[in-house]
């Protein structure tokens, strides 16, 4: 449990860093940690009228591959399903939207370094 | 957004309308309309090619439909149509620019265009569909231009877009004139020493379109004679040349962008599979028998071919076409080659030879012969025993043999006689005559009847063999310039029935 808690805490800290990073990029954060029965969407933002579903992936190091690599096809499909749920509930199925990924990795300064992948994947 | 493209079906290209819809919603890229794996993978090629050509790939919902939806679509040839459809849907291209134009091509990830199979068939289909032009990869364009439509060769996706938008129109390719008739086969009859009987049989076979079967010991020159056959056959006429070129275009084997002017010669190895010889595979490709259409199909070591291959040849040889039926439809490929086959008389090769004794036990000979079924041997009008060439003919002092060109001119004359006689039936050579035409066009003289009766009784000939002898006799008469079959013609024809006599 100890380990799990620290991983969750690191994840939350990463999401916080990612949200601040996206705001500097002109994204307006609409919602955080939107939970559904099958999972959660880390961040939902609005960028110039486009609804953006953001997956934040935090890694403490690259021993197990980079953060961006960790968003596998399966995770992508889960996000697609969650996004359709969200759109259905908010009644805006035909809104322009996309999926972004923010990779958060510790920088040498002790801060977080964020990398943004716009339109990282699509539904299939 | 609609773009006209083509799918290959047999040796024809059929129109496929590529419809592209780009709408809001979760970003996705779907292709519907029974695409196979290669078409579905086109999504990744199109995405990369569009991005690498300088456009942003939209984070929108993209649906591509290949109509008509009920036929299976294969291959990478739809890439260009899909990419242009998407660019038009995004407004990078006027939709009116795409009206009436057909396109086909496979995209590389950097946006350059790769060649497609069957470009000539697509050119013909462009004419049929009355499209104003056809945009093709540079590598395929020349081939399609032979069909006579306007073909615009694009090297890159950007070139195709700029051509359609009018920013930088491409010049239509000028079709190459058919290459001057090249020396037909690499072997000339003048190079073949001796074997006068073999050469005579070859001439008769070429003149009447008869299938030919050589039996002989190793080294008798069976393969060499077969190789000479295309060189003594009449040249392909315009229509035949276009048909042969179309077949080879679909098989992806038409090179140089000119029509094929030489009769094809195909000699598949005896380990060839049924699908390789008759056509098949996914996607469907023509087999050797179709690639040899209007030319020569040579089966060396006939008994070594798989039984299913040989039996599969029977029906196409009768009909002149191959039907390949699959769960999702059937395809017909033309298949009217002259069949030439060769075999040894027994496994060791020397049975009946005057030179060397045969070492095979009778059971081995029986088994070897048994692999060639009666029905398949029945497909050969001319059967011939070849003996090894004696040294007198090999010696450099022996007089030079007749060149192919001389034989060919006689063959051409004999064919002209046949065509004139058979005009109203739509047939072109004696070998194509059915029972009724044989009765009508190859009557025997009274003296011939007696000889034929004797031969039928003594050799135990079937009715089919009887008809084949008549057809060969008719061809021999044509070569001699005779109006009717005479006794010597029949006598010669009877000699070419080696299998019917015990060897």
Chain B partners within 8 Å of A98 (Cβ): 27, 59
Task: Compute CA distances B423 → B240, B241, B336, B420, whole Å.
Answer: 17, 21, 19, 5
A124 contacts chain B (CB < 8 A): yes
How many C-beta neighbours within 10 Å does residue A46 have?
Answer: 15
Give how many domains chain A has, as a whole number: 1
Q: Is the pLDDT of residue A4 over 60?
A: no
Q: Can you give the residue range of the structural domain that contains A103? A: 2-121
Q: Is the pLDDT of residue A63 over 80?
A: no
Scan residues 87-116 of A and list those with Cβ closer than 8 Å to B: 87, 93-99
The Cα A122–Cα A84 span in angstroms is: 12
B417 SS3 class: helix
Alpha-carbon torsion, ordered B144, B147, B148, B149, to 10 deg: -50
Strand partners, B67: B17
Q: B499: pLDDT confidence band, cut at 50, 70 and 90?
A: low
A1 contacts chain B (CB < 8 A): no
Residue A1: the pLDDT is 44
Q: Is the pLDDT of residue B502 over 50?
A: no
What rounded mean pLDDT belongs to chain B?
88
Higher pLDDT, B104 or A119: B104
Q: Is the pLDDT of residue B316 over 50?
A: yes
Burial of B316 by CB count in 10 Å (0-12 exposed, 13-18 middle, 19+ buried)?
Answer: buried
- Provide mean pLDDT across the span A78-101: 87
Burial of B351 by CB count in 10 Å (0-12 exposed, 13-18 middle, 19+ buried)?
Answer: buried
CB A35 within 8 A of CB A78: no
B420 contacts chain A (CB < 8 A): no
- Provide mean pLDDT across the span B254-283: 87
Whether A124 sits inside 8 A of B25 (CB atoms) is no
A77 contacts chain B (CB < 8 A): no
* A106: alpha, beta or left? (left if phi > 0; alpha if psi -120 to 50): beta
Q: B178: pLDDT confidence band, cut at 50, 70 and 90?
A: low
Q: Is the pLDDT of residue B182 over 70?
A: no
Spatial neighbors of A87 by CB under 8 A, at least 6 apart, are A51, A93, A95, A97, B25, B26
Which chain A residue's Cα is nearest to B27? A122
Q: Is the pLDDT of residue A2 over 50?
A: no
The Cα B248–Cα B264 span in angstroms is: 10
All structural domains of chain B, each given as residue ranges with its CATH number in brackets, are 2-165 (3.30.230.10)
Of A80-94, B66-80, B111-125, the range with the highest mean pLDDT is B111-125
Q: Is the pLDDT of residue B373 over 60?
A: yes
Residue B69: the pLDDT is 85
Whether A99 sits inside 8 A of B27 (CB atoms) is yes
A87 to chain B nearest CA, in Å?
Answer: 9
Q: Which of B465, B463, B474, B411 minimizes the C-alpha distance to B437?
A: B474
B158 to chain A nearest CA, in Å?
Answer: 24
Pick from B24, B27, B30: CB nearest A94:
B24
Q: What tens digit of pLDDT does each residue of B392-404 get?
A: 767 666 677 888 9
B57 to chain A nearest CA, in Å?
Answer: 9
B28-32 vs B2-9, strand pairing mode: unpaired
B52 to chain A nearest CA, in Å?
Answer: 16
Residue B474: the pLDDT is 95
The CATH number linked to A57 is 3.40.1350.10
- Provide mean pLDDT across the span B295-309: 92
Token pair of B52, please?
Answer: 């690498």
- Provide mean pLDDT across the span B46-75: 89
Q: Is the pLDDT of residue B195 over 60?
A: yes
Whether B25 sits inside 8 A of A99 (CB atoms) is no
Q: Which of B461, B462, B470 minimizes the C-alpha distance to B431?
A: B470
ipTM: 0.70
What percent of chain B has a predicted confidence (pLDDT) above 90? Answer: 48
- Please tell me the least confidently modeled range out of B87-96, B132-141, B236-245, B394-403: B394-403
- C-alpha angle B320/B324/B327, rounded to 5°? 160
Q: A3: pLDDT confidence band, cut at 50, 70 and 90?
A: low
Which chain A residue's Cα is nearest to B22? A96
Which chain A residue's Cα is nearest to B28? A123
Pick from A83, A84, A96: CB nearest B60:
A96
A73 contacts chain B (CB < 8 A): no
pTM for the model stands at: 0.81
């Amino acid at each position: 449990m100890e380990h799990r808690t620290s991983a969750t805490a690191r994840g939350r800290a990463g999401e916080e860093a990612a949200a601040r990073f996206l705001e500097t990029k002109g994204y307006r954060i609409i919602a955080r940690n939107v939970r559904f029965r099958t999972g959660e969407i880390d961040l939902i933002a609005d960028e110039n009228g486009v609804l953006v579903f953001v997956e934040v992936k935090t890694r403490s190091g690259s021993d197990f591959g980079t953060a961006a690599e960790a968003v596998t096809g399966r995770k992508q499909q889960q996000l697609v399903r969650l996004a359709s749920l969200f759109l259905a509930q908010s009644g805006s199925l035909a809104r322009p939207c996309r999926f972004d990924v923010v990779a958060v990795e510790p920088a040498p300064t002790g801060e977080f370094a964020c990398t943004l992948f716009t339109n990282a994947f699509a539904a299939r | 957004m609609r773009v006209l493209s083509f799918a290959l079906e047999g040796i024809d290209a059929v129109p496929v309308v590529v419809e592209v819809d780009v709408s809001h919603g979760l970003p996705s890229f779907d292709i519907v309309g029974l695409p196979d794996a290669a078409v579905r993978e086109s999504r990744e090629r199109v995405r990369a090619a569009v991005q690498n050509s300088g456009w942003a790939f939209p984070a929108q919902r993209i649906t591509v439909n290949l109509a008509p939806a009920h036929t299976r679509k294969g291959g990478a040839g739809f890439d260009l149509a899909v990419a242009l459809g998407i660019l038009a849907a995004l407004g990078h291209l006027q939709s009116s620019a795409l009206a009436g134009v057909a396109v086909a091509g496979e995209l590389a990830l950097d946006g350059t265009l790769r060649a497609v199979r069957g470009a000539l068939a697509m050119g013909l289909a462009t004419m049929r569909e009355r499209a104003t032009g056809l945009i093709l990869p540079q590598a395929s364009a020349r081939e399609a231009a032979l069909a006579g439509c306007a073909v615009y060769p694009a090297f890159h996706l950007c070139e195709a877009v700029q051509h359609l938008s009018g920013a930088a129109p491409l010049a239509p390719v000028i079709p190459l004139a058919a290459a001057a008739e090249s020396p037909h086969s690499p072997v000339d009859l003048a190079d073949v020493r001796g074997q006068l009987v073999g050469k005579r049989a070859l001439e008769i076979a070429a003149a009447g379109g008869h299938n030919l079967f050589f039996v002989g010991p190793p080294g008798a020159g069976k393969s060499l004679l077969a190789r000479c056959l295309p060189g003594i056959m009449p040249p392909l006429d315009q229509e035949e040349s276009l048909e042969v070129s179309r077949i080879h275009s679909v098989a992806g084997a038409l090179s140089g962008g000119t029509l094929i002017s030489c009769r094809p010669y195909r000699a598949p190895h005896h380990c060839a599979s049924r699908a390789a010889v008759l056509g098949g595979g996914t996607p469907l490709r023509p087999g050797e028998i179709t690639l040899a259409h209007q030319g020569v199909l040579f089966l060396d070591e006939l008994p070594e071919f798989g039984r299913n291959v040989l039996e599969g040849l029977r029906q196409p040889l009768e009909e002149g076409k191959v039907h390949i039926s699959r769960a999702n439809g059937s395809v017909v490929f033309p298949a009217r080659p002259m069949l030439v086959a060769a075999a040894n008389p027994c496994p060791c090769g020397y049975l009946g030879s005057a030179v060397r004794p045969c070492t095979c036990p009778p059971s081995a000979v029986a088994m070897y012969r048994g692999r060639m079924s009666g029905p398949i041997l029945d497909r050969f009008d001319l059967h011939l025993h070849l003996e090894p060439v004696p040294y007198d003919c090999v010696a450099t002092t022996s007089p030079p043999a007749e060149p192919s060109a001389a034989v060919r001119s006689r063959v051409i004359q004999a064919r002209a006689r046949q065509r004139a006689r058979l005009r109203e039936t739509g047939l072109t050579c004696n070998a194509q005559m059915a029972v009724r035409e044989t009765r009508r066009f190859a009557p025997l003289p009274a003296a011939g009847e007696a000889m034929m009766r004797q031969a039928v009784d003594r050799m135990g000939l079937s009715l089919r063999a009887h008809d084949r002898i008549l057809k060969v006799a008719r061809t021999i008469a044509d070569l001699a310039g005779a109006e009717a079959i005479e006794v010597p013609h029949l006598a010669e024809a009877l000699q070419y029935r080696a299998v019917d006599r015990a060897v």
